[in-house]
């Protein structure tokens, strides 16, 4: 009888002890900042870096969008391509960066399966818009160098022409990245170290959403999953970088030939030579801007592709913690690209910096009047 009473008391105590321990019944959110341990410093570093990237990226991208939108003489395909890149980078920073950071710190996913599909889709779409915009800007540079030997200001393009070019870039990016919605899904597991529920996003061709696709589209999804690594490497890295470099080489060759031909003539007056030199300086500035955008994009995108190819074709095995750190690094490289691109535009394009200064220091009426006085100097 004593043994039975003692065993009943032990069971009752164990029951009350388990009920008082929240980790067994309700894991809740993991707080990396309290209690303060060694891993808390890395959490603070991630939070500080994310806040810095978010603040700089949001302000700079919004500045580019507002300047191009409010200035009538900047309504060209060139400027609207830059504004569309800034628009999508803005939404990537606002929507994707907080989700990634919170998932890294608390090991839980905001909105669960929805963000597991939305974040990769928006990131791949951002890569597509940047890639195709760089190709379009490279074509624009080559067309400007070969269209006419006489310097002339950029004309304000019609809204239909600009929207058509933007529609091609956006539709191609949105359609080509649509398989990402059907490949990713949310997976949950209990961490053996902490006993808490951990959310993670995994890529698989047999996700529940892919079962709703027709057989023809499902077969295309399987092929995309098999060649996803090389598709992303070729379409979102090799295509924009190589295409931009080739366009820049062809543009420099055409400019050198035209400069040598004009020097052989030697009968132009001083005013025409001055206009030609100013025009060539502007064209060189725009070419350097495109090349700098391609370099930043390539530097931020290359580590992920190198890491994926290395892990796929070697026998290197990484732990789950190392894989999580690599995934976070790849995310932050994309966010860094989205944040640095508008800052780079302000650095290379003095007109944008001038208009930004006017927007900050003058009323809108004064800005519009100041920008409309010499439209040939304002156009990019």
Domains of the chain: 38-181+226-259+274-378 (1.20.1070.10)
- Both structure tokens of 55: 């603040």
Burial of 290 (0-12, 13-18, 19+ CB in 10 A): buried
Task: Split the chain (380 residues) into runs of 10 and give each run's mean pLDDT.
Answer: 48 44 48 69 87 93 85 75 91 92 84 88 93 88 68 62 86 93 85 73 83 86 91 93 87 68 54 63 76 90 92 84 87 92 78 52 44 40
Residues 6+ away with beta carbon under 8 Å from 84 = 129, 133, 166, 169, 170
What's the CA angle centered on 53, arms 363 and 235, to 5 degrees?
A: 105
Which pLDDT score is estimated for 363? Answer: 44
Q: How far apart are CA 113 and CA 115, in angstroms?
A: 6
3-state secondary structure of 165: helix
The per-residue pLDDT for 86 is: 92
Instruction: Please enumerate in sequence order all residues whose Cβ is within 8 A of that of 91, keeping only pairs 6 or more positions apart, or say none.
Output: 122
Q: Which segments of 107-238 does DSSP mark as H helices, in order?
A: 113-147, 159-176, 179-183, 215-226, 228-233
Question: Using CA atoms, how far apart are residues 173 and 124, in angstroms rounded to an integer?
Answer: 8
- What is the DSSP secondary-structure string of 270-291? HHHHHHHHHHHHHHHHHHHHHH
- Amino acid 230: pLDDT: 94
Between CA 367 and CA 370 the distance in angstroms is 5
Measure the CA–CA gap between 301 and 292, rounded to whole angstroms. 14
Would you call the peptide bond into 165 cis, given omega within 30 degrees of 0 as the criterion?
Answer: no
Beta-bridged to residue 187, according to DSSP, are 200
Which helix (H) or strand (E) segment holds residue 19: the answer is helix 2-20
Q: Please tell me the distance from the alpha carbon of residue 240 to that of residue 80, in angstroms, as a whole number.
A: 18
Report pLDDT for 137: 87
User: How far does Cα 19 stand from its chain's mean position?
Assistant: 46
In this predicted structure, what is the pLDDT of residue 165? Answer: 84
| pLDDT given at position 367 | 42
Residue 375 token pair: 């439209």
């Amino acid at each position: 009888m004593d043994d039975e009473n003692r065993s009943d008391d032990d069971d009752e105590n164990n029951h009350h002890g388990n009920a008082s321990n929240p980790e067994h019944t309700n894991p809740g959110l993991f707080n990396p900042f309290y209690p303060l341990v060694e891993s808390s410093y890395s959490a603070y570093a991630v939070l500080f870096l994310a806040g810095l990237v978010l603040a700089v990226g949001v302000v700079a991208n919004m500045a580019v969008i507002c300047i191009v939108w409010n200035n009538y003489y900047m309504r060209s395909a060139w400027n609207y391509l830059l504004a569309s890149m800034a628009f999508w980078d803005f939404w990537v920073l606002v929507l994707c960066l907080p989700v990634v950071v919170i998932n890294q710190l608390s090991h839980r996913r905001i909105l669960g399966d929805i963000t597991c599909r939305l974040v990769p889709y928006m990131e791949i779409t951002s890569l597509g818009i940047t890639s195709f915009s760089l190709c379009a800007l490279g074509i624009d540079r080559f067309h400007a160098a070969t269209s006419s030997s006489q310097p002339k200001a950029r004309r304000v393009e019609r809204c239909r022409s600009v929207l058509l070019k933007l529609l091609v870039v956006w539709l191609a990016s949105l359609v080509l990245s649509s398989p990402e919605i059907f490949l990713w899904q949310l997976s949950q597991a209990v961490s053996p170290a902490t006993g808490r529920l951990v959310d993670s996003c995994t890529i698989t061709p047999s996700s529940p959403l892919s079962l709703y696709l027709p057989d023809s589209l499902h077969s295309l999804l399987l092929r995309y999953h098999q060649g996803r690594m090389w598709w992303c490497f070729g379409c979102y890295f090799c295509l924009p970088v190589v295409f931009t470099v080739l366009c820049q080489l062809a543009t420099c060759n055409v400019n050198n030939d035209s400069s040598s031909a004009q020097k052989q003539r030697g009968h132009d007056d001083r005013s025409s030579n001055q206009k030609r030199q100013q025009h060539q300086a502007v064209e060189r500035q725009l070419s350097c801007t495109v090349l700098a955008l391609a370099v930043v994009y390539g530097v931020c995108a290359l580590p992920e592709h190198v890491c994926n190819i290395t892990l796929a074709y070697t026998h290197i095995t990484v732990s789950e913690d190392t894989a999580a750190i690599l995934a976070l690094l790849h995310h932050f490289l994309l966010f860094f690209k989205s944040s640095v691109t508008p800052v780079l535009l302000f650095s290379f394009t003095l007109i944008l910096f001038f208009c930004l200064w006017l927007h900050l220091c003058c009323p809108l009426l004064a800005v519009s009047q100041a920008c409309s006085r010499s439209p040939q100097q304002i156009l990019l």
